[in-house]
Amino acid sequence: MKEWEDKIRKVVPYVPGEQPNKKHMIKLNTNENPYPPAPKVKTVIKEMDDTKFRLYPDPTANALVKAIAEQYQLEENQVFVGVGSDDVLAMAFLTFFNSDKPILFPDITYSFYDVWADMLRIPYQTQPLDENFQICFMDYEKENGGVIFPNPNAPTGILVNLDFIEEILKQNQDVIVIVDEAYIDFGGISALPLLKKYENLLIVQTFSKSRSLAGIRIGYAMGNPALIQAMQDVKYSFNSYTMNLPSIQIGVAAVQDTSYFEKTREKIIATREWTKVKLKELGFSFADSMTNFIFVTHKSYAAKDIFEYLKTRDIYVRYFSSNPRIQNYLRISIGTDQEMDCLIAVLKEYLK
């Protein structure tokens, strides 16, 4: 090994999920929204002025911050925006998790939490979900350097209620508690009302799922002004200009169209409920998902075999091979009615 190689930061390289790109595939593996973004997004692109690209974008992305604040009836100083919720969460880890005590999160959860902790050398301790994949709030009452969990949890899809979250907040008033609400818009209730009561609460959401803008990279955090300011300070010390001009303009158009947002999420919820019925008929079992995916297992067929078979039929779902507790599960994103119909038909053939 050369001397210079010795000092390179060693990380277990995170490998992003498969992004197949076939013409007639059914892509149900990364929880993307099957519907296009709000119609005004198209107008924004058509009217975009390329001569403005030569200038730096607004480092505060104020137009977008303002639009989000208005949408959620917050002050502008309660909103932080970033390049997808991954950027927002990474900045939050960097800003808030500086204790020698371990941060706590579930053993089965969003797969990036331990990656960030490892990379940023933050001590952590995972808390096992119970046998029904439920988070046990008593596990979060021990001494810690911070708490983070998604609600609904991923990839289980299970939602907890606000009393549950408040219980965790009550027990953890000395650290920052992050609730990662990437999937909250598909039937959950946001922890937003708790912001008034708990100034150590940070809520993170994204435009990638319910706003159909995964390709534009917009995530945001909501919290008390002191938390948002601390994140801004770190962000400005990392990269002042993260949000490019198209993302700011497109984001504003998307967040302002409430009726389109309501319409598409209701469609996805309806499709999910239909899919649940059909999957149950086929012998699958699953927790009652409140997200745009369902996390399923089958009593007689191995998840890996189903996964491989679906691939041969150009249907892509997600299989997590690395965690032994969920090796017999598949995460299936909710697509259009037609796509789910097709999935069910193909599964029926395979399982018969």
Residues of this chain, 248-307, that bind a copy of itself according to CB under 8 A: 250
Contact with a copy of itself (CB under 8 A) among 71, 128, 197, 240: 240
Contact with a copy of itself (CB under 8 A) among 78, 81, 84, 165: 84
**Would you count residue 245 as binding a copy of itself (CB under 8 A)?**
yes
Residue 147 contacts residue 172 (beta carbons within 8 Å) = yes
Question: With respect to a copy of itself, which residue has the nearer C-beta, 134 or 336?
Answer: 336
Q: What tokens were used for 112?
A: 């990036």
Contact with a copy of itself (CB under 8 A) among 26, 30, 168, 286: 30
Query: β-pairing, 318-319 with 330-333?
Result: antiparallel
Decide: helix, strand or coil at residue 345: helix
Taking residue 298's Cβ as centre, other Cβ atoms within 10 Å add up to 20
Question: With respect to a copy of itself, which residue has the nearer C-beta, 41 or 330?
Answer: 41
Contact with a copy of itself (CB under 8 A) among 136, 138, 226, 270: 226
Q: Residue 33: which of 185, 246, 190, 249 has the closest Cα?
A: 185
Q: Residue 231: which of 78, 40, 63 has the closest Cα?
A: 78
Q: CB of residue 62 vs a copy of itself: minimum separation in angstroms?
A: 10
Q: Whole-angstrom Cα distance, residue 241 to residue 60?
A: 8
Question: With respect to a copy of itself, which residue has the nearer C-beta, 182 or 347?
Answer: 182
Contact with a copy of itself (CB under 8 A) among 116, 260, 295, 307: 116
Q: Residue 168: which of 190, 150, 195, 141 has the closest Cα?
A: 141
Q: Interface residues for a copy of itself in 136-155 (CB under 8 A)? A: 145-146
Sheet with 79-82: list strands edge to edge: 79-82, 219-223, 201-206, 177-180, 147-150, 103-106, 124-127
Q: Residue 18: which of 344, 336, 310 has the closest Cα?
A: 310
CA 351 distance to own-chain centroid: 31
Contacts of 101 (CB under 8 A, 6+ apart): 123, 143, 144, 145
Contact with a copy of itself (CB under 8 A) among 74, 86, 298, 340: 86
Q: Whole-angstrom Cα distance, residue 202 to residue 95?
A: 12
Q: Residue 89: which of 69, 109, 72, 70 has the closest Cα?
A: 109
Contact with a copy of itself (CB under 8 A) among 26, 61, 97, 129: 97
- Where does this chain touch a copy of itself (CB under 8 A) — which range of 12-20, 63-71, 131-139, 297-305? 12-20
Q: What would the x/- binding string for a copy of itself be over residues 42 to 81, using CB under 8 A? A: x--xx-x-xxxxxxxxxx----------------------
- Where does this chain touch a copy of itself (CB under 8 A) — which range of 67-75, 86-94, 158-166, 182-190? 86-94
Q: CB of residue 316 vs a copy of itself: minimum separation in angstroms?
A: 12
Q: Whole-angstrom Cα distance, residue 319 to residue 334?
A: 15
Q: CB of residue 281 vs a copy of itself: minimum separation in angstroms?
A: 29
Sheet with 284-286: list strands edge to edge: 284-286, 293-298, 330-333, 318-319
How many amino acids of this chain bind a copy of itself (CB under 8 A)?
A: 85
Contact with a copy of itself (CB under 8 A) among 70, 75, 143, 233: 233
**Would you count residue 33 as binding a copy of itself (CB under 8 A)?**
yes
Q: CB of residue 189 vs a copy of itself: minimum separation in angstroms?
A: 24
Q: Interface residues for a copy of itself in 161-190 (CB under 8 A)? A: 173-176
